[in-house]
């Protein structure tokens, strides 16, 4: 055996599916990867992982790629977990951390999922991949496909941020704008899968992007010395990262790698997951509030946080199950506060905060003020991408100085 | 003693200067930091460094910040050293590597220098910093100043890439456009240093950005298991990184950490440094060709590779000394090939290649074809920043698909 996967499992009904051949969905719903965790436990310990290179592939036994296969890698991970004392102080929090995913290849967390998915696709014989994207997934898919030597087709709504359009072309993808929304793009990918011989890389429509995203949870745990934070704020579009982290924590618990909290004999404590969406596109928050397990399509989706422009998520029930199991909640941030929070958080800490994460800070501020997050709780906010990928989200204009007559009062303003 | 610095040293004439107080230049020329390398050797070994966190601060004994001072850190380094088989094959090179600095905070190598310089400035009591920039230095300075809680003033030419303007404002710097060139911006910073109480962070006008950049050389050596590459291609604007790497290799040699090449008894072999500039701004290449140690101001500097728009470098003699000592050369890449090389290299390997590095590939292609780089030599090309920071450098336009009448022939084109 050269991997630790036991089988695939349909998330909606537990149907067991075979590993080792191409898979997309089961009855239109996502598929889990399951591992022989007892064998992983026997094969590797946290101390061995600590000695490995700082890449998400350090968790190799918890990833699906066979051990004799070279990953498709651009050097992804580990990303820093940055303590934010100044911003925490403003919010009344002494243990505020930002997990800065902007430092990944292509400047966003999407690289984690694509590293795993493209590695698996190449191994399973795929030659061309396709996906719809409203933001960073297109650039990440294009980059990993290029690294793997696969063809990549990317379809994005016409109002996708200009940097995302630029990067798809940079990496040599066959990239197109579509006069519609992301679901229109998704339909083209679906229709083309058979006609064009594409493998569909859409969010949660193959099993392995989820496994790559899972490494966010593995890294947080390792960086906190195998303790978990008390609360996680996560901007939720398709929700793969949130679902993946929850899966990671469960696997770590079963492995026995997590440390108990409090005095000896104390049990494990899992973080409360706070799923954050923008008011202009909040299907998960809406379903959560109604107590439902499945989310309805959010009409007229509209937000400058392009990664949150996901009106319907195929993994809705997985997201909602995880939030509820964690004792967390799904909340909504104000559109009008996005640009302000990008600048406020970025200038407080020097971290490049994207609009999706700005939404998280709006939610966090409200919850901290209401006492729903306690002052000494360990809070981790995920910064899922680099702010300059969203030029459209924060209007700016620099004042001009005349070199011949420098206005020192303007400079001191 | 809580650091290993022995003294500062004027680069132009060897004058010994004291460490531990604010310093800019000596007779207008840069200052070296010198270490008690015998004490470093006694205190730490490569195996100990291998066990440390993946940050440039792992080389703490070779950096000037006292050991009891917390660095100003955004999680910078280590960046991946990526083997590029496909691109190497196109160029007839079997050991081509790209050191991908685009994965640093703020998306460029400038973060290394700023991490060190801002850490030192804060330690030495500075409250406000200022600098001129034609590109990524402004964003990096703004980010690290924000992290440190310092005020930052940034002056940039009016034609600075839009992303660089965006990020300076994002991080809360007081940022200005100037109707002139970078030397006009530099003059404002110089004039304001006394009037405004700024500390001047300009390239090589304080000693510590160089020390931060030095870590590029330390990382390459460690990632190659304490061997050095045969050839390094480095895009040269102010040249801090090239000077810094050469200094790093000398320090590692004196420490005895480098491994000899070839059979037992073989000596150390240093890389040939290939300094690459754009035809529209090539002061170092011009001086090198003339056999001079100092470079004249390059008139009418003009290139889309904004980081190379440096018509006069205060460290010119340090750059030229290093190139010559290494047996390398200074060469010029064609402006007309920049956009093409950005896309060609990025799409071959999935790495986000900036225009400055595109210039390096043009030079490398010519030298490989001429036999000046041998097919099996270990070649490292530095990718100093993320391509999407240079939207202006690569024109692009995605074709549009009508969702109501998908043109499959256009997609397959």
**Residue A268 belongs to domain with CATH number:** 3.40.50.1100
Give the A window 145-164 contacts with B, CB below 8 Å: 145-149, 153, 155-156, 158, 162-163
Chain B residues close to A403, C-beta within 8 Å: 178-180, 184, 187-188
Instruction: Search chain B and give the residue with CA nearest A80.
Output: B75
Which phi and psi (to 5°) does residue B380 adopt? -115, 125
Chain A residues close to B177, C-beta within 8 Å: 398-401
Query: Which one of B388, B391, B393, B405 makes the best mutation probe of the A interface by having the most chain A beta carbons within 10 Å?
Result: B388
pLDDT in tens, A347-391: 999 999 999 999 999 999 999 999 999 999 999 999 999 999 999
Asked whether the beta carbons of B310 and B134 are under 8 A apart, the reply is: yes
pLDDT in tens, A200-238: 999 999 999 999 999 999 999 999 999 999 999 999 999
pLDDT in tens, A111-147: 999 999 999 999 999 999 999 998 999 999 999 999 9
Asked whether the beta carbons of B334 and B362 are under 8 A apart, the reply is: yes
* Closest chain B C-alpha to A314 CA, distance in angstroms: 21
Q: pLDDT tier at A1 (50, 70, 90 boundaries)?
A: low
Residue B1 pLDDT greater than 90, yes or no: no
**B5-10 and B31-35 as β-strands: parallel, antiparallel, unpaired?**
antiparallel
**Is B99 domain-assigned?**
yes
B347–A174: do the CB atoms touch at under 8 Å?
A: no
Q: Is A394 on the interface with B (CB under 8 A)?
A: yes
Chain B residues close to A82, C-beta within 8 Å: 73-75
Cα–Cα–Cα angle for A18, A23, A27, nearest 5°?
95
A398–B175: do the CB atoms touch at under 8 Å?
A: yes
B195 exposed, middle or buried (CB, 10 Å; 0-12, 13-18, 19+)? exposed
E strand or H helix at B17? strand B16-17
**Is B142 domain-assigned?**
no
B155–A79: do the CB atoms touch at under 8 Å?
A: no
Tell me, what's the pLDDT at A70? 97
Tell me, what's the pLDDT at A261? 77
**Is A146 domain-assigned?**
no
**Is A265 domain-assigned?**
yes
Query: Which residue among A100, A103, A149 places its CB closest to the CB of B86?
Result: A149
| H runs (alpha helix) in A197-239 | 208-223
* Closest chain A C-alpha to B329 CA, distance in angstroms: 30
Coil/strand/helix, residue A396: coil
B191–A406: do the CB atoms touch at under 8 Å?
A: yes
- DSSP states along A55-117: SGGGGGGGSSS-TTSPP--S---PPPEEE-HHHHHHHT-SEEEEEEGGGSGGGBTHHHHHHHH
The count of domains in chain B is 1
Instruction: Search chain A and give the residue with CA nearest B169.
Output: A396
B406–A346: do the CB atoms touch at under 8 Å?
A: no
Q: How far apart are CA A325 and CA B350, in angstroms?
A: 38
Adjacent-strand bridge partners of B83: B97
Chain B residues close to A158, C-beta within 8 Å: 400
Range of the domain at B311: 81-107+207-393
The stretch A161-190 carries a mean pLDDT of 95
**Is A103 domain-assigned?**
yes
Peptide bond into A78 cis (omega under 30): yes
Q: pLDDT tier at A265 (50, 70, 90 boundaries)?
A: low
A352–B143: do the CB atoms touch at under 8 Å?
A: yes
Average pLDDT over all residues of chain B: 96
Instruction: Search chain A and give the residue with CA nearest B182.
Output: A403
Strand order in the sheet with A128-132: A199-200, A128-132, A151-157, A174-178, B400-401
Query: Which residue among B166, B196, B402 places its CB closest to the CB of A388?
Result: B166
Asked whether the beta carbons of A26 and A9 are under 8 A apart, the reply is: no
**Is A53 domain-assigned?**
no
Q: Is the dihedral of CA A118, A122, A125, A129 positive or negative?
A: positive
Give the B window 124-143 contacts with A, CB below 8 Å: 142-143
> Which residues make Cβ contacts (< 8 Å) with residue B17, sequence separation at least 6?
B7, B8, B9, B10, B23, B26, B31
Query: Which residue among A74, A347, A413 places its CB closest to the CB of B82?
Result: A74
* C-alpha pair distances (Å), B347 with each of A104, A388, B134, B232: 18, 21, 27, 22
Tell me, what's the pLDDT at B200? 97
* C-alpha pair distances (Å), A204 with each of A25, A295, B159: 8, 15, 42
Q: How far apart are CA A234 and CA A276, in angstroms?
A: 6
Query: Which one of B398, B406, B408 makes the best mutation probe of the A interface by having the most chain A beta carbons within 10 Å?
Result: B398
**A128-132 and A400-401 as β-strands: parallel, antiparallel, unpaired?**
unpaired
Give the B window 195-234 contacts with A, CB below 8 Å: 195-196
> Which residues make Cβ contacts (< 8 Å) with residue A288, sequence separation at least 6?
A275, A320, A323, A324, A329, A330
Q: How far apart are CA B138 and CA B109, in angstroms?
A: 12
Q: How far apart are CA B173 and CA B151, in angstroms?
A: 7
> Which residues make Cβ contacts (< 8 Å) with residue B235, sequence separation at least 6?
B276, B277, B305, B307, B308, B356, B357, B359, B360, B382, B384
B153–A411: do the CB atoms touch at under 8 Å?
A: yes
pLDDT in tens, B318-366: 999 999 999 999 999 999 999 999 999 999 999 999 999 999 999 999 9
> Which residues make Cβ contacts (< 8 Å) with residue A1, sequence separation at least 6?
none
Chain B residues close to A79, C-beta within 8 Å: 75
Q: How far apart are CA B242 and CA B360, in angstroms?
A: 13
Tell me, what's the pLDDT at B413? 75
Adjacent-strand bridge partners of A92: none
Percent of chain A at pLDDT > 70 equals: 99
Asked whether the beta carbons of B144 and B111 are under 8 A apart, the reply is: yes
Phi-psi region of A172 (alpha: psi -120 to 50; beta: other; left: phi over 0): left
Among residues A209, A278, A131, A393, which one has the least CA distance to residue B167? A393
Q: Is B3 on the interface with A (CB under 8 A)?
A: no
Q: pLDDT tier at A264 (50, 70, 90 boundaries)?
A: low
A343–B172: do the CB atoms touch at under 8 Å?
A: yes
A389–B389: do the CB atoms touch at under 8 Å?
A: no
Instruction: Compute how many other C-beta atoms are within 10 angstroms of the C-beta atom of residue B380.
Output: 23
Instruction: Search chain B and give the residue with CA nearest A141.
Output: B350
Q: Is B176 on the interface with A (CB under 8 A)?
A: yes
Q: How far apart are CA A59 and CA A213, in angstroms?
A: 12
E strand or H helix at A32? strand A31-35
Residue A260 pLDDT greater than 90, yes or no: no
Tell me, what's the pLDDT at A181? 87
Q: How far apart are CA B386 and CA A167, in angstroms?
A: 10
Instruction: Search chain B and give the residue with CA nearest A349.
Output: B147
Give the B window 73-92 contacts with A, CB below 8 Å: 73-75, 78-82, 86
Token match 């290394």: residue? B112
Q: Is B390 on the interface with A (CB under 8 A)?
A: no
Residue B266 pLDDT greater than 80, yes or no: no
> Which residues make Cβ contacts (< 8 Å) with residue A362, sequence separation at least 6?
A333, A334, A337, A338, A341
Please report the number of interchain residue pairs, chain A to chain B, with beta-carbon separation below 8 angstroms: 241
B401–A147: do the CB atoms touch at under 8 Å?
A: no
ipTM of the complex: 0.97
Tell me, what's the pLDDT at B267? 79
**Is B198 domain-assigned?**
no
Average pLDDT over all residues of chain A: 96
Instruction: Search chain B and give the residue with CA nearest A48.
Output: B51
Q: How far apart are CA B374 and CA B7, in angstroms?
A: 40
Question: Please, what's the b/e burial string for A13-39 (b: 16 or more CB within 10 A of its CB; e: otherwise)?
Answer: eeeeeebeeebbbbeebbbbbbbbbee
Chain B residues close to A350, C-beta within 8 Å: 74, 105, 142-148, 171
Residue A413 pLDDT greater than 90, yes or no: no
**B329-333 and A16-17 as β-strands: parallel, antiparallel, unpaired?**
unpaired
Q: How far apart are CA B309 and CA A197, in angstroms?
A: 46
Tell me, what's the pLDDT at B183? 87
Percent of chain A at pLDDT > 90 equals: 94
Chain A residues close to B174, C-beta within 8 Å: 411, 413
Tell me, what's the pLDDT at A262? 67
Instruction: Compute how many other C-beta atoms are within 10 angstroms of the C-beta atom of residue A8.
Output: 21
**Is A358 domain-assigned?**
yes
């Amino acid at each position: 055996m050269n991997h630790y996967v036991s089988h695939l499992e349909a998330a909606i009904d537990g149907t067991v599916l075979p590993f080792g051949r191409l898979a997309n969905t089961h009855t239109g719903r996502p598929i889990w990867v399951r591992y022989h965790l007892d064998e992983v436990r026997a094969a590797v310990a946290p101390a061995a992982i600590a000695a490995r290179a700082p890449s998400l592939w350090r968790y190799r036994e918890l990833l699906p790629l066979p051990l004799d296969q070279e990953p498709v890698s651009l050097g992804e991970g580990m990303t820093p977990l940055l303590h934010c004392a100044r911003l925490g102080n403003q919010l009344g929090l002494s243990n505020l951390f930002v997990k800065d995913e902007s430092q990944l290849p292509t400047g966003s967390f999407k690289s984690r999922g694509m590293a795993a998915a493209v590695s698996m696709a190449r191994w399973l014989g795929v030659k061309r991949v396709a996906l719809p994207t409203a933001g960073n997934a297109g650039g990440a898919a294009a980059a990993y496909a290029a690294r793997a030597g696969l063809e990549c087709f990317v379809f994005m709504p016409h109002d996708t941020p200009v940097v995302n359009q630029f990067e798809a072309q940079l990496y040599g993808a066959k990239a197109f704008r579509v006069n519609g929304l992301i679901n229109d793009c998704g339909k083209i990918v679906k229709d083309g899968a058979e006609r064009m011989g594409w493998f569909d890389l859409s969010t949660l429509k193959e099993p392995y992007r989820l496994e790559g995203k899972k490494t966010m949870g593995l890294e947080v745990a390792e960086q906190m010395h195998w303790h978990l934070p008390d609360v996680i704020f996560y901007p939720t579009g398709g929700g793969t990262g949130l679902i993946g982290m929850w899966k990671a924590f469960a696997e770590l618990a079963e492995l026995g790698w997590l440390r108990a909290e409090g005095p000896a004999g104390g049990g494990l404590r899992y973080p409360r997951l706070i799923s954050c969406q923008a008011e202009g596109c909040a299907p998960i928050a809406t379903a959560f509030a109604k107590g439902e397990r499945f989310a309805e399509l959010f009409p007229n989706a509209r937000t400058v946080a392009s990664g949150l422009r996901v009106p319907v998520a195929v993994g809705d029930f997985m997201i909602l199950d995880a939030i509820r199991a964690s004792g967390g909640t799904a909340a909504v941030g104000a559109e009008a506060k996005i640009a302000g929070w990008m600048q406020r958080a970025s200038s407080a800490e020097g971290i490049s905060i994207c609009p999706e994460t700005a939404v998280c800070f709006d939610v966090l501020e409200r919850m901290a003020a209401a006492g729903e997050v306690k002052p000494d709780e360990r809070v981790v906010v995920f910064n899922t991408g680099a702010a300059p990928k969203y030029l459209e989200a924060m209007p700016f204009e620099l004042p001009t100085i005349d070199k011949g007559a420098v206005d020192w009062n303007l400079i001191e303003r």
